[in-house]
Amino acid sequence: MKVGLHTVDLFPGRERLMPFRTVLEMAKVMKSQGWEADVLNSSVSCSDAADFEWLGIRVVQCPRDFGALSEWVNNNGYDVFLFAATIREGLRNLSAFQKMTCRKIAYIPSGITPKWNAFQLFRHYGLFAKAWMLEAVTPKTLIAYKLKQAGFTELITLTEYTSQRLGKVLPTHVIYPGKDEFEDIETDESILVKNNLKGERFYLFTGAPGQVRGSQLLLKAFDEFVESNKNLNPRIVFLMRNDVGAQYDLFFEVLNGMRHKKCVTVLREQLTIPQLKAFMKEAYAVVLPFICIPAEIPITYYEVMSCGTPVVSFSNAGTTEYLKNGLKIAGKVSVGNLTKALSELWNNKGERDVLACRALGIMEKHPTWNEVGKAWMDLIIMKNKQLYD
């Protein structure tokens, strides 16, 4: 069995980010079971993208034009093609996929973007929000109709929330992204000691300061929170990951304008996984204020919750709907709502402990990448058998 798992704009340095992580992990599981599996990358933002490998998985550059892509897949002898079909792809003409002769299955990497969230992203960052605005306004059933007309036979969604909104045009299968063995990793607390954070109470943000991640909104909300709770001496730590293309100017502009920036610690050093886990485990809560979630479900949620640490997050469709029992939901995207959530949780340790317990319960039941990979394989095998019997 030769399988091609499609994605868009996967470059070295992005392998652990969603949605790329899903197809890479699926390819790993398939290869471990004796299949031939490649990740096929259509590049939009980079004109000189090159093939590379990640943990033994080939990432092969392929055409973005659907007609050329179909011909390319046919020429390379793939038995099954798994297409990354974002909601906004429903606005495009997909008929060129009819030329593709192998079995075609689509998966939805991006999930549903709430209209309010997309509007807030546009309000703060203008045309940067174009893709999310398109996701928000595109009729959700349109992509399924277009895929069916193009000869796709199945649809995989990464959350139940997304599945329910795509209708019943195609057979749809909900297979959540898997979890790492993060709970089994030993922590390295030396980094906490080094920064005088061991035994301290602090909120934590981890990730790049990208616009969709809401780091600037968090700075503003935390400043308001501190202003109202000066007697509690609240603190927040930002672990600023150096993602490919990360932008820091806006973040530091807001930070430098804060009234209480002395309560903020920013760390940009490269951390090991055991050090990262030490921060997540020590934090009072981790704040992930995504304005829009680029792909379901950010792995950071899983990592944090598997440590028994609650997450503060804006309401964000499939991700927060699935994990809501272990989250402090700040409601719709706004500085005021986030300020309120930070204050309520800081002043209610009982609520924090309940959320922490629920987070552990959710992650104990959640499937591993290996289990998820076998679910994708079962779908392929079952449907191929039905086709050729």
Question: In the chain, what is the greatest distance between 2 CA atoms, to the nearest angstrom?
Answer: 72
Structure tokens of 262? 């002395």
Instruction: Summarize pLDDT for 251-307 with one digit per residue, the tens.
Output: 999 999 999 999 999 998 889 999 999 999 999 999 999 999 999 999 999 999 999
Angle at alpha carbon of residue 180, lines to 175 and 183, rounded to 5°: 125
Cis peptide before 299 (omega within 30 of 0): no
In whole angstroms, what is the distance from residue 362 CA to residue 380 CA?
28
5 φ, ψ (degrees, to nearest 5)? -105, 115
- Rounded to the nearest 10°, the torsion over CA 8, 12, 15, 20 is 0
Euclidean distance between the first and the last CA atom of the chain, given in angstroms as a whole number: 16
Instruction: Summarize pLDDT for 328-350 with one digit per residue, the tens.
Output: 999 999 999 999 999 999 999 99
In whole angstroms, what is the distance from residue 46 CA to residue 65 CA?
15
In whole angstroms, what is the distance from residue 215 CA to residue 80 CA?
40
Q: pLDDT value at position 242?
A: 66
Q: May I ask the CATH architecture of the domain 2-178+368-388?
A: 3-Layer(aba) Sandwich (3.40)
Which pLDDT tens digits describe the chain residue by residue (389 residues)?
999 999 999 999 899 999 999 999 999 999 999 999 999 999 987 777 899 999 999 999 999 999 999 999 999 999 999 999 999 999 999 999 999 999 999 999 988 999 999 999 999 999 999 999 999 999 999 999 999 999 999 999 999 999 999 988 999 999 999 999 898 999 999 999 999 999 999 999 999 888 899 999 999 999 999 999 888 889 999 998 765 555 688 899 999 999 999 999 999 888 999 999 999 999 999 999 999 999 999 999 999 999 999 999 999 999 999 999 999 999 999 999 999 999 999 999 999 999 999 999 999 999 999 999 999 999 998 754 443 33
**369-388 vs 20-32: helix axis angle to the nearest 10?**
70
- Nearest to 303, CA basis, from 13, 17, 7: 17
Cβ neighbourhood burial of 75 (10 Å; 0-12, 13-18, 19+)? exposed
- Nearest to 240, CA basis, from 228, 249, 248: 248
- Domain boundaries, given as residue ranges, for the chain: 2-178+368-388, 182-365
Do 182-365 and 2-178+368-388 have the same topology in CATH? yes
Q: pLDDT value at position 388?
A: 30
CATH of domain 182-365: 3.40.50.2000
Cβ neighbourhood burial of 256 (10 Å; 0-12, 13-18, 19+)? exposed
| Residue whose entry in the numeric block shows the structure tokens 């929170």 | 225
58 φ, ψ (degrees, to nearest 5)? -75, 130
- Nearest to 165, CA basis, from 134, 150, 146, 144: 144
Q: Is 114 left (phi over 0), alpha (psi -120 to 50) or beta?
A: beta
